[in-house]
Structure 1
Amino acid sequence: MDSASVDQEVNKTRLSRAEYRCISRFMEHLRPTRQCMKKLKTQFPHLSPSTLLSIFSQEYQKRTKRSMARHHAPDVVKSYYQWYRSEAKTRPADPLLLELANEVDMSPALLARVMVECFMEEREASVPSRHVINNTLREPALIPDLLLAKHVEQCTINDCCYGPLVDCIKHAIGLEHEEILRDKLRERRLSFLDENQLRAKGYDKTPDIILEVPIAVEDHIVHWIESKASFGDDHSHQTYLNEQFWSYCNRFGPGLVIYWYGFISELDCQRDRGIVLKDCFPSDITTLCQRLTSP
């Protein structure tokens, strides 16, 4: 996919906090399956599928963290596994793990992980390593039980928030938008260093882009740019501020964050402290040459 087609897909939108809360309330009882996206597109046709998926994924991850302890209690895990084993004998052709995930409101991919752990522990009489589990989830065909392998694969394919397939897609989308950003900078003939070049110079924690000559965006000086192929909500933005953005400001000066799938408009309140938020590559850019030649 080229940068032009991605630009058409990306929704250049900002939501008020009240609008975001309305959307998140609608999502509270949805399950993380591909079918839920149809409901979201129908309910919120003014938002792009990518923005809706980003919002839903972030909201569902919060929900998952709140219920994690309950689903992973030893007696609960045992009951899930026993139920699956019993049902698999009588209904092998049915999507059993997807049914169970929907019934107990658990991510299908995370439930599949629990089932694989139980199966391997039962078979090997020892707790499998994380590395082994991750490899098995990426390649369900490695599971000796072909029926369980099929059900695990169903979970991976149908889960839109968790699992190895989602991880690969998110990683690819992130890299794609970083390349879009670099293309935009080249089009404007702006000199920059990207993250790989900065690491080669010995920097450890860096933004995606450092501008070799700063620019002004809407009259705010920008030394660095961070690309986020996601929607900026309160929780994620606060986490990024604490773990990334403030340290970038302290080290490199004021900068720009692009949330390609939009953000809560009230979050763009730190411009005077050095952080500008945008939902697309800015059109209002002033270069040093323009400043020097302007009357």
Structure 2
Amino acid sequence: MAAGCLRPVPLRLLRRPSPSPNMILTKAQYDEIAQCLVSVPPTRQSLRKLKQTFPSQSQATLLSIFSQEYQKHIKRTHAKHHTSEAIETYYQRYLNGVGRNGSAPVLLELANEVDYAPSLMARIILERFLQEHEETPPSKSVINSMLRDPSQIPDGVLANQVYQCIVNDCCYGPLVDCIKHAIGHEHEVLLRDLLLEKNLSFLDEDQLRAKGYDKTPDFILQVPVAVEGHIIHWIESKASFGDECSHHAYLHDQFWSYWNRDDCNQAEIQNSKKLKKACL
């Protein structure tokens, strides 16, 4: 969670009392977890092993770090999986595999073997299949619709293969996107309730858009508050782990525009650059 001016507000300052103490992950602890993930495949079994290795960390924290580190890996290797040679190789291996046993998890095993996200491998094969069997190239909206609902795929074997990839992918795909959206909404509702509980006057995202703002934080405080010596003008809820890379991206994509518009103190924004850990 980030708050104006670009300084995260620890939820412990707003959260209702809970039976367990809040955990703050240090940079060293984060680096240790990230290093452990270098050679770990993105499977549920790996997540269980990760929890056993770091029992003091919550499942939600480990899953969020796991997902972010894996997404970084996928971005680094994305291009090599989308060359024409790679696509044709994957497609022929898929055809050979289902030709031998159509009920075996051919696509899922192929994705794991080449270290690529199952949902993204399913997209590659689905696009290649439709290019071969349809008169016109499939649109992105058609592909997305079929991935969300594999029963729309005109080939039953491929539909089953795609379904297996979607439900076994814990980092990518329409199922993961739906879960992330739900969690994000849940955190925004929680934050709203906490602000109301503290009798803080605010404008939410919908109210700000009605006033003509195009980029808005989740909440702007109508009366700024002081937190740990910093004046807080706005709060942005992020339901994912706030690593340093994420903070830089959020600064570029969102937070700088909030600061420019709301004319926050330059000293405070400079302090935020020194952030090296997430307050969860």
Shorter-chain TM band = 0.7 to 0.9
* CA distance in structure 2 between the partners assigned to 1:29 and 1:130 by the alignment: 32
Matched to 1:74, the amino acid is S
Q: Distance in 2 between matches of 1:225 and 1:187?
A: 16
Any idea what SS the aligned residue of 2:224 has?
strand
Map Cα deviations across residues 180-211 of structure 1 (whole Å, 9 max, x no partner).
00000000111110111100111111111001
What are the equivalent positions in structure 2 for 1:101-120 lying under 5 Å apart? 101-120=111-130
Distance 2:176 2:36 in 1: 23
Match of 1:216 in 2: 226
Deviation, 1:254, is 4.4
Question: What letter corresponds to residue 202 of structure 1 in structure 2?
Answer: G
Q: Point out where structure 1 has 5 or more consecutive residues left out of the alignment.
A: 1-5, 256-269, 281-295
For residues 11 and 156 of structure 1, do their structure 2 counterparts lie closer, same or farther at Cα, with a shift above 3 Å needed? farther
The separation in 2 between residues aligned to 1:78 and 1:12, in whole angstroms, is 50
| Contact 1:177-1:229 within 8 A present in 2 as well | yes
Could you tell me whether the CA contact under 8 Å between 2:242 and 2:278 is conserved in 1? no
Is this contact kept in 2: 1:143–1:149, CA < 8 A? yes
**How many residues of Structure 1 are paired with residues of Structure 2 in the alignment?**
262
| Pairing of 1:132-151 with structure 2 (within 5 A) | 132-151=142-161
Residues 1:158 and 2:168 aligned together = yes
Q: What amino acid does structure 1 have at the position aligned with 2:63?
A: L
* 1:168 and 2:178 matched: yes
CA distance in 1, matches of 2:151, 2:122: 14
Rate the CA distance shift 1:244–1:274 in 2: closer, same or farther, 3 A.
farther
Equivalent position to 1:126, from 136, 151, 157: 136
Letter matched to residue 109 of structure 1? S
Report which of the two has the higher share of strand.
Answer: 1
Structure 1 residues 11 and 75 mapped into 2: Cα distance closer, same or farther (>3 Å)?
Answer: farther
CA distance in 1, matches of 2:112, 2:20: 30
State the AA in 2 paired with 1:181. L
In 2, Cα distance between equivalents of 1:244 and 1:10: 33
Match of 1:71 in 2: 81
Q: Kindly indicate whether the alpha-carbon contact (under 8 Å) linking 2:25 and 2:278 is maintained by their aligned counterparts in 1.
A: no
1:231/1:222 CA distance change after superposition, 3 Å: same
Could you tell me which residue of structure 2 aligns to residue 290 of structure 1?
A: none
Confirm or deny that 1:240 pairs with 2:239: no
- Which residues in structure 2 correspond to 1:188-207 (within 5 Å)? 188-207=198-217
CA contact (8 A) 1:11 1:48 kept: no
Within the candidate set 49, 63, 71, 1:61 is matched to: 71
Q: CA deviation at 1:106?
A: 0.4
User: 1:124: how far off?
Assistant: 0.7
Q: Which moved more, 1:133-142 or 1:15-24?
A: 15-24
Distance 1:24 1:9 in 2: 28
Aligned residue for 2:57? 47
Query: Structure 2 counterpart of 1:153, which letter?
Result: Y
Runs of 4+ residues deviating >4 angstroms: 6-11, 274-278
Q: How many Å separate the matches in 1 of 2:128 and 2:20?
A: 41
Local SS of the residue matching 2:104: coil
Q: 1:87 aligns to what?
A: 97
- Structure 2 length as normaliser, TM-score? 0.87
**Residues 66-94 of structure 1: per-residue CA shift (max 9 Å, x gap):** 11111111111111111111110112221
Tell me which amino acid in the other structure corresponds to 1:118: R
Query: How far apart are the structure 1 equivalents of 2:20 and 2:183?
Result: 11
Which amino acid is 2:206 matched to? N
Identical aligned residues as a percent: 55
Q: 1:115 Cα deviation (Å)?
A: 0.9
SS of residue in 1 equivalent to 2:57: coil
Q: What is the CA distance between 1:12 and its match in structure 2?
A: 3.8
Checking the alignment, whether the CA contact within 8 Å between 1:9 and 1:48 is kept in structure 2 is: no
Match of 1:181 in 2: 191
Uncovered stretches (5+) of structure 2, i.e. residues with no partner: 1-15
Asked whether the 8 Å contact 1:211–1:223 carries over to 2, the reply is yes
Q: Distance in 2 between matches of 1:182 and 1:89?
A: 54
RMSD between aligned residues? 2.4
The CA deviation at 1:99 is 0.7
Q: TM-score, normalised by structure 1?
A: 0.83
- Residue of structure 1 equivalent to 2:237: 227
